[in-house]
């Protein structure tokens, strides 16, 4: 195992400490229990958005804490769900008189612990379950579809709506809508190594790929010989299109996400393949984002995410955001 490590047991706390210092202008980090929250609490009352999950997927979720997105994020140990006391402490820190909305990826441990955490708070609350992965229905840690790179899109758009003072019910319903309009699927060329394990999560030959892989290295649809980027793209994009029932002239957001070990050059090559294919199918790509946003430690590979756009989704995607990992002004 070749990693920047002092003590395996302290990787998360040291990383969080460094993250907090690097972005001290916009956020704060609390340790024991661990959670990341905005430096400045919004002056106007708003629904407070809290997400979280196992570490190892950075910048998801802590990198999305800030104006226009999350109010707090709860990082668990690597590939392990955060504990209920983290959600309780985060909610007590960021509640702002209009309720708490939890955004949770569809993994059994995450759902169970977020439910327990929500039972420990006295504020009005609700939950959005993100399950955008079209690759498989049930998986190693999941009943139903997995929550993957589409989570960022849900967090960005719902975060924008929450900034307007919308109600908890309005934010919850909008988040469920964005989730339904979003589909993702990925492929891995290598495994990743959880530091505490010290060895790859799974074995894969140098000429093989895991098609439909999960962000924790869960099995996908199949394992097969590596194909060209165009061949991979066609199979993935068409799977997502079938799931979303995309029709001609539909406007979409196209997101190419890296798993941590693939160069940006290759991610933009994938984007070119995806954009070209969608154009051929008369699908209009009107919004785009490319980069490492939902990673799997150092796994080589990537994923496509497509979101069907409507007026409200476009409005809240385009709105200003200022976080460690996403920031723009319109």
Asked if residue 142 lies in contact with residue 108, where contact means CB atoms within 8 angstroms, the answer is: yes
Neighbours of 213 (CB within 10 A): 31
The runs of H, that is alpha helices, within the chain are 11-22, 84-94, 108-119, 150-163, 168-180, 229-244, 264-280, 311-318
Tell me if residue 322 is catalytic: no
Give the integer Cα–Cα distance in Å for 223 and 247. Answer: 30
Q: State the catalytic residue, choosing from 23, 57, 61, 316.
A: 57
Measured in whole angstroms, the distance separating CA 22 from the mean position of its chain's CA atoms is: 21
Q: Which residue matches tokens 């196992």?
A: 54
Among candidate residues 23, 95, 125, 216, the one labeled active-site is 216
Tokens at residue 222, please? 């199949």
Q: Which residues pair with 53 in a beta bridge?
A: 75
* Active-site residue, 177 included: no
Residues serving a catalytic function are 57, 216
């Amino acid at each position: 195992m070749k990693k920047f490590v002092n003590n395996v047991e302290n990787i998360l706390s040291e990383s969080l400490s460094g993250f907090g210092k690097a972005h001290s202008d916009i956020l704060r980090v609390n340790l024991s229990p661990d959670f990341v929250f905005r430096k400045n609490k919004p002056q106007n009352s708003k629904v407070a958005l809290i997400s979280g999950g196992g570490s190892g997927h950075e910048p998801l979720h802590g990198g999305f804490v800030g104006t226009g997105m999350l109010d707090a994020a709860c990082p668990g140990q690597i590939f392990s769900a955060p504990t209920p006391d983290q959600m309780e402490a985060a909610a007590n820190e960021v509640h702002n008189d209009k309720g708490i909305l939890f955004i949770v990826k569809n993994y059994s441990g995450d759902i169970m612990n977020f439910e327990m955490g929500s039972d420990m708070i006295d504020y009005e609350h609700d939950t959005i379950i993100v399950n955008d992965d079209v690759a498989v229905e049930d998986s190693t840690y999941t009943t139903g579809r997995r929550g993957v790179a589409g989570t960022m899109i849900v967090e960005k758009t719902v975060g924008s709506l929450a900034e307007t003072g919308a109600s908890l019910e309005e934010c919850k319903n909008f988040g469920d809508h964005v989730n339904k309009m979003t589909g993702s699927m990925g492929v891995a060329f290598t495994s990743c190594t959880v530091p505490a394990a010290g060895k790859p999560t799974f074995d894969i030959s140098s000429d093989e790929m895991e098609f439909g892989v999960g962000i924790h290295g869960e099995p996908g649809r199949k394992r097969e010989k590596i194909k060209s980027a165009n061949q991979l793209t066609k199979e993935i994009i068409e799977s997502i299109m079938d799931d979303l029932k995309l029709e001609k002239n539909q406007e979409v957001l196209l997101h190419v996400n890296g798993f941590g070990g693939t160069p940006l050059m290759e991610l933009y090559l994938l984007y070119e393949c995806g954009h070209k294919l969608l154009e051929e199918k008369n699908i209009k790509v009107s919004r785009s984002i490319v980069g490492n946003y939902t990673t799997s430690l150092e796994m080589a590979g990537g994923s496509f995410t497509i979101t069907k756009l409507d007026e409200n989704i476009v409005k809240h995607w385009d709105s200003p955001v200022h976080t460690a990992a996403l920031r723009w002004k319109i």
